[in-house]
Amino acid sequence: MTSEAGPITAALFDFGGVILSSPFDAFADYERANGLPVDFIRGLNATDPDDNAWAKMERNDVSITEFCALFEAEAEATGHTVDAAEILAGLRGTIRPQMVEAVRRCGERLKTACLTNNFVAPSPAGDMATRDTSRMDPGSFDGVMELFDAVVESSKAGCRKPDPRFYEIACEELGIDPSEAVFLDDLGINLKPAKAMGMTTIKVVDPDVAIDALEQVVGFPLR
């Protein structure tokens, strides 16, 4: 099957919320445990989204210590108190094996890339390590990133979704035109610029439903 613009030659995947369970679950857990309004953290991150603390962290414009101070100040400005380091430490996720299998099968016939907004955080040993925004134990996804032909990380690229430049970098690394790509993300705000560039887009709410949609786009089984 082809997109309206032409044949699909590449499949692009977000990480947290697509291959990994959603970080919003961890946000919700923190909010419940600390008596914060529902979706408070998501709302904070949606305010001034290109220049708030979270955006600066994902572009690696600030250190984690600087992020924590900025993020806590943003929360204080709304009348609430948060522990930013605790929020980051709570970002754990679960790999979705059916999505990993879909990536593997796409990789047999198409070019593949992971497009992730992530941050650089201290490892338990005190070293700095790049982590996806949906953070988890590094050992639990050994081998997943090796499935991709390219991995585009906000902390290394200096820009982040939904900046169009982020998607351009992915296309350049794969040697494709945007119209040749299908892109899966769990956030509509990240899909909008990709679609405007000519990509076929799939919003991931239920991963199994998303895989069904992806099968329709690529034209071969993914399970």
Residue 1 lies inside a defined structural domain of this protein: no
Residue 64 lies inside a defined structural domain of this protein: yes
d(CA 210, CA 202): 7
Which CATH number characterizes residue 55's domain?
A: 1.10.150
For residue 93, the model assigns a pLDDT of 80
Residue 5 lies inside a defined structural domain of this protein: no
> Can you say whether the dihedral through the CA atoms of 157, 163, 168, 170 is positive or negative?
positive
Length of the chain: 223
Phi, psi of 201 (to 5 degrees): -120, 150
CB 168 within 8 A of CB 199: no
Are 184 and 169 in the same domain? Answer: yes
For residue 120, the model assigns a pLDDT of 78
For residue 1, the model assigns a pLDDT of 35
In sequence order, what are the beta bridge partners of 152? 115
For residue 92, the model assigns a pLDDT of 75
For residue 177, the model assigns a pLDDT of 98
Residue 3 lies inside a defined structural domain of this protein: no
Are 179 and 110 in the same domain? Answer: yes
The bridge status of strand 10-13 relative to strand 181-185 is parallel
Residue 136 lies inside a defined structural domain of this protein: yes
From residue 101, give the alpha-carbon distance in Å to each of 19, 86, 112, 215: 10, 32, 13, 12
In sequence order, what are the beta bridge partners of 2? 7
For residue 4, the model assigns a pLDDT of 52
Are 170 and 142 in the same domain? Answer: yes
CB 59 within 8 A of CB 159: yes
Residue 2 lies inside a defined structural domain of this protein: no
H or E stretch covering 111 = strand 111-116
d(CA 79, CA 66): 20
Which of 35, 64, 89 lies at the terminal end of a domain, its last residue? 89
What parts of the chain have a pLDDT lower than 50? 1-3, 124-131, 133-140
Which of 89, 107, 135 lies at the terminal end of a domain, its last residue? 89
Are 195 and 98 in the same domain? Answer: yes
Are 119 and 134 in the same domain? Answer: yes
Which CATH number characterizes residue 114's domain?
A: 3.40.50.1000
> Which DSSP category does 37 fall into?
P
For residue 142, the model assigns a pLDDT of 59
- Split into its structural domains, the chain has a count of 2
Are 85 and 102 in the same domain? Answer: no
Q: Name the residue range of residue 107's domain.
A: 10-22+93-218
For residue 127, the model assigns a pLDDT of 38
Residues 6+ apart with CB under 8 A from 30: 36, 41, 82, 86, 87, 90
pTM for this entry? 0.84
Are 15 and 44 in the same domain? Answer: no
pLDDT 10s digits, 100-157: 999 999 999 999 999 999 987 655 443 334 445 444 433 346 589 999 999 999 999 9
For residue 134, the model assigns a pLDDT of 43
